[in-house]
Amino acid sequence: MNVNINELVSGCILTKDVWKKSNNPLMKKKTVLTKEHIQILTIFLVENVNVEPKLVDGSTFKPKKVNEEIKEDHEPIVQRRQDDSFINRYLKAVQQYKKLFIDWQGGMKVEAYEVRKVFLPLYEFEPTQDELMQLHHYTTKQDYIYFHSVAVSVFSYLLGKKLDLKSGEVIQLGLAGLLSDCGMSKLPFNVFEKKGSLTASEYNEVKKHPIIGYRMLEEIPGFSKNALLGILQHHEREDGSGYPLHIKRSKLHQYAKIISVADVFHAMTSERHYRSKQSPYKVIASLKIDQFGKLDHKILNQFIKILLDLSIGRKVKLSNGLVGEVLYQNSQHPTKPVVKVHRDEYLDLAKNPELFIEEELPFDYIEEA
């Protein structure tokens, strides 16, 4: 949806990089625009940008009225694209979950039926790999916990399917992922408004949220014992270094191991008050190394297969701005293939640790001159 920058409002989501005569884009696609972003576009004399038909809060984007012709020209496009999109369902689920979370903060009990209403529309829709790899871009600092909870739910149920769990188990796993941080709603301080690092006492309070979440749900019909264990143990680690109970791999439930992988991946790729978002490819490489012995490596490998499509011939954009084509896959380092960047120039990313893939491009992508 191409619009004039005078029509933009806060919450618009870029669908294409914005370029302005430089080697790097002025703004990258999937950026959630703020007033400051719009002001920067104005300063750089950008006239038009491409945005999603929905805002980050899930509502339909209504351009500022510059003239009626522009409005009429774009309205049918919004109508065509908004009906059946995984991303639209995701954004809607985030807003629904946010409402429930605020209700829990106000003292209301969790209702299984309301939670299922958030989860099931996502479960019914199969996202593409590209959509999954772009999911973290939609997260905002202010609403991180809501985006995070829904994303963890999506990644968890997809992993459950990949591991051949029965449909009933996959649903319970997805619900557990969605509610993995519900205990955060009962913390004695607002951790989400904290813009710096937590104090030691605050961190100790945060580490209680899996137990709090377990207790919030243990008397609520509709959640299996497996789901409750997934919530209770999702911050535990294979080597016993996690919390709150410091248990090791033999005592960890499969649901907890799955949610742990989903939780760490989305947290590391998302924008937060105290940390910038990272490339999913860089995070995956980091998980393979830094989380070795902490996360279940078999589950992590299955998760990587869900996310990556670095097949031979796939075009990719590298962190140095170069566009290349995958020539050889590296089974030991799945995010580090050999890439052809020019007619006779090849890069083995495994031997160039400073380089990583920023994004996968369509097979028919044509690089601009």
Identify the CATH number of the domain in which residue 258 sits. 1.10.3210.10
- As for how many domains the chain has, the answer is 3
- Kindly state the percentage of the chain with pLDDT values over 90: 58
Task: Specify if 367 maps to a domain.
Answer: no
Of the pLDDT bands very low, low, confident and very high (cuts 50, 70, 90), residue 35 is confident
Can you give the residue range of the structural domain that contains 21?
A: 2-81
Q: Per-residue pLDDT averaged across 221-235, rounded?
A: 96
- At residue 82, the pLDDT reads 44
Cβ–Cβ < 8 Å for 254, 199? no
pTM of the model: 0.78
200 found inside a domain = yes
Phi-psi region of 293 (alpha: psi -120 to 50; beta: other; left: phi over 0): left
Report whether 64 contacts 6 (CB < 8 A).
yes
The H-or-E segment that residue 348 falls in is strand 345-348
- Do 148 and 218 fall into the same domain? yes
* pLDDT at residue 344, as a whole number: 82
Looking at the structure, do residues 342 and 298 belong to the same domain, yes or no?
no
Residue 99 and residue 55 share a domain: no
Query: Quick check: 185 and 206 in contact, CB under 8 A?
Result: no
Residue 353 confidence (pLDDT): 87
- pLDDT of 72 > 60? The answer is no
Token pair listed for 353: 């640790």
Among the candidates 307, 336, 353, a domain finishes at 307
Whether 287 is in a domain gets the answer yes
* Tens digits of residue pLDDT in 254-269: 999 999 999 999 999 9
Of the residues 37, 64, 81, which one is the last residue of a structural domain? 81
- Confidence grade of residue 147 (pLDDT, cut at 50, 70, 90): very high
Is the pLDDT at 67 greater than 70, yes or no? no
Per-residue pLDDT at 76 exceeds 80? no
User: Are 266 and 234 in a shared domain?
Assistant: yes
pLDDT the model gives residue 214: 98
Average of per-residue pLDDT values in the chain: 87
Calculate mean pLDDT across residues 147-164.
Answer: 97
Q: Say whether both 53 and 16 belong to one domain.
A: yes
pLDDT band at 21 (very low <50, low <70, confident <90, very high): low
